[in-house]
Homo-oligomer: A and B are copies of this chain.
Amino acid sequence: MTERIKDLIDAKQYTMLRQELLDMNEVDIATFLEELEHEERFKIFRLLPKDIAADVFAYFDIETGQMIISSLSDSEAKNIIDNLYADDAADLLEEMPANVVKRLLRNANPETRRDINQLLQYPDDSAGSIMTVEFVDLKANLTALQALSKIRHVGVDKETINTCYVLDEKRKLIGTVSLRRILLADTEKLLEDIMDDNFIAVNTLADQEAVVHMFQKYDLDSMPVVDSENRLVGIITVDDVVDIMQQEATEDIEMMAAIIPGEKPYLKTSVWDTWKSRIPWLLILMFSSAFTGKIITAFEGALAGALVLTAYIPMLMGTGGNSGGQSSVTIIRALSLDEVGMKDIFRVIWKETRVALLCGITLAAGNFAKMMIFDRGDMGELSIMAVSLVVSLALVVSVLCAKIVGCILPILVKRIGLDPAVMASPLITTIIDVLSLILYFVFAMAILPI
Flag if A318 contacts B286 (CB, 8 Å).
Answer: yes
Chain B residues near A254: list those with CB within 8 A.
329-330, 333
Against B, the Cβ 8 Å flags (1 = close, 0 = not) of A257-300 are 11100000111000110110011011101110110111011001
Flag if B323 contacts A311 (CB, 8 Å).
Answer: no
Stretch of A8-16, A39-47, A103-111, A214-222 on the interface side: A214-222
Chain B residues near A342: list those with CB within 8 A.
none
Q: Which of B155, B246, B319 contacts A245 (CB 8 A)?
A: B246
Interface residues of A in 291-327 (CB under 8 A from B): 292-294, 296-297, 300, 303-304, 307-308, 310-315, 317-319, 322-323, 325-326
Q: Which of B183, B296, B348 contacts A155 (CB 8 A)?
A: B183
Chain B residues near A292: list those with CB within 8 A.
314-315, 318
Flag if B279 contacts A362 (CB, 8 Å).
Answer: yes
A200 close to chain B: CB less than 8 A: yes
For A242, A378, A429, the residue with the greatest tally of chain B CB atoms inside 10 Å of its CB is A242
Contact A322-B258, Cβ < 8 Å, known A217-B27, A370-B290: yes
A340 close to chain B: CB less than 8 A: yes
Closest B residue to A421 using CB positions:
B253
Flag if A257 contacts B326 (CB, 8 Å).
Answer: yes
Chain B residues near A294: list those with CB within 8 A.
311
Against B, the Cβ 8 Å flags (1 = close, 0 = not) of A351-381 are 1001100110011001100100010001000
Contact A282-B323, Cβ < 8 Å, known A256-B329, A314-B313: yes
Flag if B216 contacts A366 (CB, 8 Å).
Answer: no
Q: How far apart sit A254 and B217, CA to CA, in the bound complex (Å)?
A: 22
Q: How far apart sit A281 and B366, CA to CA, in the bound complex (Å)?
A: 13
Flag if B152 contacts A179 (CB, 8 Å).
Answer: no
A156 close to chain B: CB less than 8 A: yes
A83 close to chain B: CB less than 8 A: no
Contact A242-B243, Cβ < 8 Å, known A250-B337, A286-B363, A366-B287: no
Interface residues of A in 201-230 (CB under 8 A from B): 215-221
Chain B residues near A384: list those with CB within 8 A.
none
Chain B residues near A24: list those with CB within 8 A.
198
Interface residues of A in 67-98 (CB under 8 A from B): none
Flag if A333 contacts B27 (CB, 8 Å).
Answer: no
A426 close to chain B: CB less than 8 A: yes
Chain B residues near A340: list those with CB within 8 A.
266-267
Interface SS of chain A: helix, strand, loop or mixed?
helix
Q: How far apart sit A323 and B362, CA to CA, in the bound complex (Å)?
A: 30
Chain B residues near A430: list those with CB within 8 A.
318
What's the interface size class on A, roughly?
A: 35 or more
A339 close to chain B: CB less than 8 A: yes
Chain B residues near A249: list those with CB within 8 A.
245-246, 249, 253
In whole Å, how far is A27's beta carbon from the nearest beta carbon of chain B?
A: 5
Chain B residues near A312: list those with CB within 8 A.
293
Flag if A426 contacts B259 (CB, 8 Å).
Answer: no
A347 close to chain B: CB less than 8 A: yes
Q: How far apart sit A313 and B162, CA to CA, in the bound complex (Å)?
A: 62
Flag if B275 contacts A359 (CB, 8 Å).
Answer: yes
Flag if B315 contacts A286 (CB, 8 Å).
Answer: yes
Q: What are the 5 A-B residue pairs with the smallest beta carbon separation, nearest first?
A: A257-B329, A249-B249, A293-B311, A289-B315, A292-B314
Interface residues, chain A, with chain B CB atoms under 8 Å away: 23-25, 27, 148, 151-152, 155-156, 161-162, 179-180, 183-184, 198, 200, 215-221, 238-239, 241-243, 245-246, 249-250, 252-254, 256-259, 265-267, 271-272, 274-275, 278-279, 281-283, 285-287, 289-290, 292-294, 296-297, 300, 303-304, 307-308, 310-315, 317-319, 322-323, 325-326, 329-331, 333-334, 337, 339-340, 344, 347-348, 351, 354-355, 358-359, 362-363, 366-367, 370, 374, 378, 425-426, 429-430, 433, 437
A-B contact list, 27 entries, CB within 8 Å: A148-B183, A155-B180, A155-B184, A156-B184, A183-B183, A215-B242, A221-B238, A249-B253, A252-B253, A256-B329, A257-B326, A259-B329, A266-B330, A266-B339, A267-B344, A267-B348, A272-B358, A275-B358, A278-B359, A286-B363, A290-B370, A292-B314, A293-B311, A293-B312, A293-B315, A313-B314, A425-B425
